[in-house]
Chain A
Amino acid sequence: MNNHKKNLAVCLTFTVLLAAGCLLGLFLPKEDISYSERRRLAPLPVLSADTWFSGRFMSDFENYAADHVWRRDSFRTVKALVQTKLFGRLDENGIYAADGHLAAMEYPLREASLSRAAERFRLICDKYLSADNPVYLSVIPDKNCFLAPQSGHLSMDYAKLEKRMAQKADFAEYIRISDLLETDDYYLTDPHWRQEKITDVAERLSQAMGASISKDYKKHTLDQEFYGVYYGQAALPFAPDTLCYLTTEATEGCRVYDWQNERQIPVYDQKLAAGRDPYEMFLSGSLSLITMENPDAPSKKRLVLFRDSFGSGIAPLLISGYSEITLADIRYIHPDTLEKFVDFTDCDVLFLYSTLVLNHSETLK
């Protein structure tokens, strides 16, 4: 190839790629949502004198243009592969792959955040509970706890975190569950635990709280593939998970009420399993306040479970031991408003939180 042909090829390649990018950007139908990142994509900004001279139109257009690149997810994967394979980066956007899992580097330990979480829990106890209410606390380690020591990624001192939380929340009896968990108890591409792998955790918690739960589980496996939240964030090519759920007689017969939307909901929502975040199938995902009623319960025992999203997976396993479980997520509902909905008389109270929330407790109201 002589120089002229080579230069022609360079010019043509550049022109065609830029023109194609321009035409696809201008005329391709636009998506509203990025399912892999689970967020709304930037809309086309409105052009007006105000938005132009304030510079808002330009900054919004930059976001719009970056969000609506043709085959954006594929381009993001190219970037992730260049970062990890070519530049040898050990993590991508704080997410790393190890032992067949994707995990987030949860680091460093934020003492002030633990103190704040404990203070929020104490506030609830002081406001609503009496000496007759048994109060429990349990901490769910995120999977970085198990993966990082082997893979060499950064991680917190999880034993220290548990110890600190138990000390700071001295009004609650601490139930240790970290010894029952291991890497494979979590989804490959998602931070959450697998319901079918945590029956031992449910057993430990119920025993500690004096409840007796059914062990007669029936396992169901969904057909659709499950790509978790880390998959979208890392944009690395990764095999999907399968999603399973467990039923008992109690889950079959139980009624679930969503106070936030004032409606009955199923324990396992099959429609949500096919949606953008299949993990939302467990008790319909991130709802502020729900009540599970078990009409066939062997006792009148009631539980108020202060929880994050991990609680949605375990509550169905606990319901057989209780006549009622109220799940409150104080990231979405202020504790002061709970008295309108929750009767705390003679109920057990469990604060069950993952390290991901405790280490970022600014999200707690």
Chain B
Amino acid sequence: MLFSSISFLYYFLPVMAALYVISPGKLKNTSLLFGSLFFYAWGEPGYVWVMLFSIIQGYVFGLLVQRYRGQWAGRLFCVLSVCISLSFLFYFKYADFFIGNFNAAAGTSVPLLRVSLPIGISFYTFQMVSYTIDVSRGEPAQNNIIRLAAYIAMFPQLVAGPIVRYSDISGQLADRKHSLDGAAHGIRRFVIGLAKKILFANQFGELCSVCLALKEQSALSCWLYAVGFTLQVYFDFSGYSDMAIGLGELFGFRFSENFRYPYCSASITEFWRRWHISLGSWFRDYVYIPLGGNRVGRARQLCNILAVWALTGLWHGAAWNFVVWGLLFAALLIAEKIWLLRILEKSRVFSHVYVLFFVTVGFVIFGAGDLPEAVHRLFGMFGAGGIAPASPEALYYLKSFAPALAAGAIGATPAAAGLLKKGSAKKGWNRLLSVAEPVFVAAVLGIVTGYLADGSFNPFLYFRF
């Protein structure tokens, strides 16, 4: 089920919220779990068992790891649990990628498995892995399977993150406070996320579709696609994260931030501290640091960076263009580590242009169906292959989408939030904003309902990861 659907907004959410409110304190996690299982089964009825199995094995191995912590058996149980979790991910997500590449390299024709990818498996697998590893590192295991299942299956963050660490919410699973202020904050956050997805991400998605469908490609249409897709990914994913964080607050949970205006970064190093923060920190804590992190020699450290970013790329999708996308960032991060950061610090303008350029190029690689398509689109952006600089169609769509692109570009910066913050510090403005907030919530819901009633099914980009 999508957050940005009529069935979620006007059927699931009111019923779920009502059930949660009337459930007594001890049963709140249970109602949240069953609601979440229904939410998941709505989109993936055939694969609920995969998630349930993952939860049960995590629960059992978590207890075993705790019991034998510090002994070889504890380490063995931890490795077993991680391997089981990752084997599901490998089977559903990567098996065909490896079989295809093996066939290409060895000239064999091993048949592909052609299994569909369970929604959200990349996210809940990483949460399960982090739980088991955290327990092996000393975090108390969860004795209550309902709580653990509610943590893994919790519908706000189940299908597209953020990747919530068990250690961050273990206390909240046992005891959390519900308040009017928290709920109001969650609602605001949810509504902002909804607007980001419906009003901006879908708009840019439409721009990308028309650009790709143009009969006559031009450098301008290729750039329009690149900029449109870069904005679409941001508004789509950060919008989803906002909705997830907002819904979490509505049910009494506090999830950590996943985006902090990444397109305002002055270096790629900074970009990755602001973009998909929960994924970056997961790879840092569970892959990079265990590999030695910054404590090893320079050559080993650079190899570790390459490995982590190849895996980050592969996490996003089982295709070579995702690996290349990850390695592009690895190369930039290494360059910044060695010498580039010093140069970037000298010019703010250049550093921002540099970040936006490589992030845009990166997302062209990311959004392509395969590597040749990525190369073709990149060449098109620079007029290679004899394509025209512009065409009447591209100029028309530039004109038609210019206000949305401008609004998106401003919306991707903290400008609007800063303005509101300044305004709320002034007494008169604060009064106006106080009245405007409920009106804003109602207006966004009304507009979004109009878009949903008029539109067709439009899934989030990150559902496929």
Asked if A79 and B441 make an inter-chain contact with CB atoms under 8 angstroms apart, the answer reads no
Q: What's the Cα separation between A93 and B206 when bound, in Å?
A: 10
Question: Can you name 10 extra interface pairs (CB under 8 A) apart from A75-B453, A107-B393?
Answer: A3-B181, A7-B183, A10-B188, A13-B438, A18-B10, A21-B9, A69-B453, A78-B449, A88-B403, A90-B400
Q: What's the Cα separation between A93 and B191 when bound, in Å?
A: 25
Q: Which of B139-147, B254-262, B429-437 contacts A (4 or more CB under 8 A)?
A: B429-437
Which residue of the partner chain, among A10, A53, A89, A235, contacts B184 with CB atoms under 8 Å? A10
Q: Does A8 contact B (CB under 8 A)?
A: yes
Q: How far is the CB of B313 from chain A (nearest CB, A)?
A: 30
Q: Does B289 contact A (CB under 8 A)?
A: no
Q: What's the Cα separation between A3 and B203 when bound, in Å?
A: 34
Contacts of A108 in B (CB 8 A): 215, 393
Partner-B contacts on A (CB < 8 A): 1, 3-15, 17-19, 21-22, 25-26, 52-55, 58-59, 61-62, 65-67, 69, 72, 75-80, 82, 86-91, 93, 107-108, 152-154, 235
Q: How far is the CB of A227 from chain B (nearest CB, A)?
A: 17
Which residue of the partner chain, among A22, A54, A87, contacts B407 with CB atoms under 8 Å? A87
Asked if A59 and B184 make an inter-chain contact with CB atoms under 8 angstroms apart, the answer reads no
Asked if B438 and A62 make an inter-chain contact with CB atoms under 8 angstroms apart, the answer reads no
Q: Are A75 and B454 CB-contacts (below 8 A) given A89-B400, A90-B399? A: yes
Q: Are A82 and B450 CB-contacts (below 8 A) given A10-B441, A18-B14, A25-B10? A: yes
Asked if B437 and A10 make an inter-chain contact with CB atoms under 8 angstroms apart, the answer reads yes
Q: Does B136 contact A (CB under 8 A)?
A: no
Asked if A75 and B7 make an inter-chain contact with CB atoms under 8 angstroms apart, the answer reads no
Which residue of the partner chain, among A62, A88, A91, A153, contacts B457 with CB atoms under 8 Å? A62
Q: What's the Cα separation between A55 and B44 when bound, in Å?
A: 7
B202-226 residues at the A interface, CB under 8 angstroms: 203, 215
Q: What's the Cα separation between A280 and B306 when bound, in Å?
A: 67
Q: Does B43 contact A (CB under 8 A)?
A: yes
Which residue of the partner chain, among B10, B14, B45, B396, contacts A53 with CB atoms under 8 Å? B45
Asked if B7 and A11 make an inter-chain contact with CB atoms under 8 angstroms apart, the answer reads no
Q: What's the Cα separation between A177 and B434 when bound, in Å?
A: 62
Asked if B437 and A8 make an inter-chain contact with CB atoms under 8 angstroms apart, the answer reads no
Contacts of B399 in A (CB 8 A): 90, 152
Asked if A22 and B438 make an inter-chain contact with CB atoms under 8 angstroms apart, the answer reads no
**Nearest A residue to B406, CB-CB:** A88
Asked if B7 and A65 make an inter-chain contact with CB atoms under 8 angstroms apart, the answer reads yes
**Nearest A residue to B42, CB-CB:** A58
B-side interface residues, number (CB < 8 Å): 55
Which residue of the partner chain, among B15, B43, B455, contacts A58 with CB atoms under 8 Å? B43
Contacts of A14 in B (CB 8 A): 187, 191, 441, 445
B1-55 residues at the A interface, CB under 8 angstroms: 1, 5-7, 9-11, 13-15, 17, 42-43, 45-46
Q: How far is the CB of A41 from chain B (nearest CB, A)?
A: 11
Q: Does B76 contact A (CB under 8 A)?
A: no
Q: Does B311 contact A (CB under 8 A)?
A: no
Q: Does B442 contact A (CB under 8 A)?
A: yes
**Nearest A residue to B203, CB-CB:** A87
Asked if B396 and A4 make an inter-chain contact with CB atoms under 8 angstroms apart, the answer reads no
Q: What's the Cα separation between A27 and B98 when bound, in Å?
A: 51
Q: How far is the CB of A82 from chain B (nearest CB, A)?
A: 5
Q: Does B451 contact A (CB under 8 A)?
A: yes
Asked if B45 and A69 make an inter-chain contact with CB atoms under 8 angstroms apart, the answer reads no
Contacts of B438 in A (CB 8 A): 6, 9-10, 12-13
Partner-A contacts on B (CB < 8 A): 1, 5-7, 9-11, 13-15, 17, 42-43, 45-46, 180-181, 183-185, 187-188, 191, 199, 203, 215, 392-393, 396, 399-404, 407, 431, 434-435, 437-438, 441-442, 445-447, 449-457
Q: What's the Cα separation between A246 and B46 when bound, in Å?
A: 61
Asked if A89 and B14 make an inter-chain contact with CB atoms under 8 angstroms apart, the answer reads no
Q: How far is the CB of B203 from chain A (nearest CB, A)?
A: 7
Contacts of B11 in A (CB 8 A): 22, 25-26, 65
**Top 9 closest A-B pairs, CB basis?**
A7-B184, A79-B450, A21-B10, A88-B403, A78-B450, A75-B450, A1-B434, A65-B6, A90-B400
Asked if A65 and B446 make an inter-chain contact with CB atoms under 8 angstroms apart, the answer reads no
Q: What's the Cα separation between A54 and B11 when bound, in Å?
A: 21
Q: How far is the CB of B394 from chain A (nearest CB, A)?
A: 11
Asked if A11 and B187 make an inter-chain contact with CB atoms under 8 angstroms apart, the answer reads yes
**Nearest B residue to A154, CB-CB:** B396
Contacts of A235 in B (CB 8 A): 454
Asked if B407 and A11 make an inter-chain contact with CB atoms under 8 angstroms apart, the answer reads no
Q: What's the Cα separation between A69 and B181 when bound, in Å?
A: 30
Contacts of B1 in A (CB 8 A): 58
Asked if B449 and A75 make an inter-chain contact with CB atoms under 8 angstroms apart, the answer reads yes
Contacts of A4 in B (CB 8 A): 180-181
- Specify which of B215, B392, B431, B454 lies most central, judged by the most chain A CB atoms within 10 Å of its CB: B454
Q: What's the Cα separation between A17 and B194 when bound, in Å?
A: 15
Asked if B392 and A154 make an inter-chain contact with CB atoms under 8 angstroms apart, the answer reads yes
Q: What's the Cα separation between A19 and B9 when bound, in Å?
A: 10
Q: How far is the CB of A24 from chain B (nearest CB, A)?
A: 8
Q: Are A18 and B450 CB-contacts (below 8 A) given A7-B181, A91-B400? A: no
Which residue of the partner chain, among B7, B45, B188, B441, contacts A61 with CB atoms under 8 Å? B7
Q: What's the Cα separation between A108 and B396 when bound, in Å?
A: 13
Q: How far is the CB of A78 from chain B (nearest CB, A)?
A: 4
Q: What's the Cα separation between A353 and B88 when bound, in Å?
A: 57
Asked if B5 and A65 make an inter-chain contact with CB atoms under 8 angstroms apart, the answer reads yes
Contacts of B450 in A (CB 8 A): 75-80, 82
Contacts of A79 in B (CB 8 A): 447, 450-451, 453-454
**Nearest B residue to A52, CB-CB:** B45
Q: Are A66 and B401 CB-contacts (below 8 A) given A25-B11, A75-B449? A: no
Q: What's the Cα separation between A108 and B442 when bound, in Å?
A: 40
Q: What's the Cα separation between A107 and B396 when bound, in Å?
A: 12
Contacts of B393 in A (CB 8 A): 107-108, 154
